[in-house]
Amino acid sequence: MHVCFYRFCLCLLYYCFACLLPLEAHAKPTGEIIFRHPDPTESNGLWIGNVNFFGQTSRRILDHDLLIETLSIQEGDRYIVAIARRLRVFDIAKLGRDLYLLDRKYWAVEAKNLTRGLYGDLLDASISRNGDVVFTTGQDIRLKDGTFPKPGIYFISHREIKKPHPKAELLLQLPSEAGPVDWAHNGKKIVFSTGDGCFLMDVFSGNVSQILKGGRCSSFSPDQKKIAFMSFGIPRTLSLLSLANQQELRHIKLEDGVYPRDITWSADSRYFVYTIGGEGNTPYSNVAVPVSGGRPIRILQKAFHGGVPVFKWTNVLYTVEPTKKLTILWGELKQTE
C-alpha cells in the first residue's frame, strides 16, 4: 500500500514539474528542412534533413555547381527557386547572382537559369503555389549593355517560366532596392520591404498598400496571420506583426552588431527563426523564437557545431488567406514624398 502511494506521489511530482518547464524545454521546432551546408567544401547544391534528427538524416539532394544564397519552396514541394552564384566561373561577366529553377522530381536535370544576367543584382525571390515567381533587384551592378538596372519587383508567370528563355515583367519600379519578398497563400498578394517600410501588393491588380512604417519584413507565417520584421533602431529588434489588427506581438532585442542574415518560419507557425554569423570564422547560429512566448532557443547546432546559412521548411501547412485590411495606399505614399 505504501509502495503504491509512494509511486503515485512520484508520478504526480514529475507531472507537475513537467508542466512548469519553460516552453523551449519540451516543444522544439520539428519537421524537414532543405538547406545549404555550412562547410565551404560541401556548400554547392542543397541538402535535406530532419530538424529533430539532423545529423542522422542529412543528405545531399542537389550536386549542381551553385552557391545558393536564398531559396523559396513551392507549396507541394515540387519546385524551388533559388538566387545563386555559379562556382568555379572564370568569366568575370558571369560572377553575379542569377535566379534558378529547380525541380525536386528531377534533381539530375541542370538548374534552369531564369534571369541570365539580364536584371542586375538579385536580392530575393519567391514562388507561389501556382508557380508564378517574383524577385527583387538592386541597382549596384551594371548590365551587359553598360546601363544600370531599374530597382524594383519583377514577375515571371507560371506559363512564361516553362519557356526556354523566360522574360520577366517589371511589376513595380522603386526609387531604391527592395528587400525580401514573399507570396501569400492565395497566390495573388506579395509582401515586400523598402526603405519606407513594409507593403502588401496585389500582383494582378497592381494595388499596393503600406502595412508598416520603417522596418524590414521577411515572410508570411504559414498560417498567414503574422509577419516577422526587423527594426533598425538602437538596439535593433525583431518583432511580429499581426495581420488581423496590425499590432506588434513580440519583440526580441538583438545584441549590438548582430544583423540577421535570414528570417524564416517553422512549418506549424509556432516559431520564427533567424540566422546570424558566418562572418570570417564565426559559425552560423539558427535561433528559434516561440511566438507564444518563452526564451529563444538554438536549433541545428549539434550536427555542424554551429548552424546552417540558408534553409527552409518543407511540407508547410497553409490555412487562411492574409487579411484584407490595409492602410496607406502606394499612390498616397508617393504623393507625400
> Which residues lie across from 335 on neighbouring strands?
none
Query: How many Cβ atoms are within 10 Å of 39's Cβ, its own excluded?
Result: 9
Q: Give percent of the chain with pLDDT exceeding 90.
A: 30
Of the candidates 43, 40, 91, the one whose C-alpha atom is nearest the C-alpha of residue 64 is: 43
The confidence score (pLDDT) of residue 93 equals 47
- Whether 237 and 214 have beta carbons less than 8 Å apart is answered as no
Establish if 43 belongs to a structural domain.
yes
pLDDT band of residue 50 (cuts 50, 70, 90) is: confident
Per the structure block, which three cell numbers stand in for 329?
495606399
Mean pLDDT across 295-316? 83
Establish if 54 belongs to a structural domain.
yes
pLDDT above 60 for 25: no
Task: Choose the weakest-confidence range: 12-26, 201-215, 254-268, 282-296.
Answer: 12-26
- Whether 216 and 229 have beta carbons less than 8 Å apart is answered as yes
Establish if 287 belongs to a structural domain.
yes
Residue 76 sits in which domain range? 29-335
Give the CATH number for residue 258: 2.120.10.30
Establish if 3 belongs to a structural domain.
no
How many CA atoms lie within 13 Å of 252's alpha carbon, on the beta-carbon side? 27
pLDDT above 90 for 114: yes
Q: Express each pLDDT in 204-255 by its tens digit.
A: 999 999 988 877 888 899 988 999 888 877 778 888 888 888 778 788 888 7
pLDDT above 60 for 335: no
- Whether 287 and 254 have beta carbons less than 8 Å apart is answered as no
pLDDT above 60 for 327: no
pLDDT above 90 for 62: no
Mean pLDDT across 291-303? 85
Of the candidates 113, 108, 125, 30, the one whose C-alpha atom is nearest the C-alpha of residue 73 is: 125
Phi-psi region of 295 (alpha: psi -120 to 50; beta: other; left: phi over 0): beta
pLDDT band of residue 143 (cuts 50, 70, 90) is: low
Task: Choose the weakest-confidence range: 8-12, 193-197, 303-307.
Answer: 8-12
- Overall number of domains in the chain: 1
Establish if 145 belongs to a structural domain.
yes
Q: Express each pLDDT in 70-112 by its tens digit.
A: 999 998 878 999 999 877 554 444 557 899 999 988 877 888 9
pLDDT above 90 for 260: no
- Please report, to the nearest 10 degrees, the dihedral formed by the alpha carbons of residues 71, 115, 154, 320 taken in order: -30
Query: How many Cβ atoms are within 10 Å of 194's Cβ, its own excluded?
Result: 21
Which DSSP state fits 9?
A: H
Establish if 318 belongs to a structural domain.
yes
Establish if 167 belongs to a structural domain.
yes
The confidence score (pLDDT) of residue 94 equals 52
The confidence score (pLDDT) of residue 303 equals 67
Top mean pLDDT of 18-32, 136-150, 284-298 is at 284-298
The confidence score (pLDDT) of residue 5 equals 43
Establish if 12 belongs to a structural domain.
no
Contacts of 228 (CB under 8 A, 6+ apart): 217, 218, 219, 221, 238, 239, 240, 241, 263, 265, 272, 274
Residue keyed to cell 522603386: 174
Of the candidates 135, 180, 184, 185, the one whose C-alpha atom is nearest the C-alpha of residue 161 is: 135
pLDDT band of residue 3 (cuts 50, 70, 90) is: very low
Query: How many Cβ atoms are within 10 Å of 316's Cβ, its own excluded?
Result: 20
Per the structure block, which three cell numbers stand in for 175?
526609387
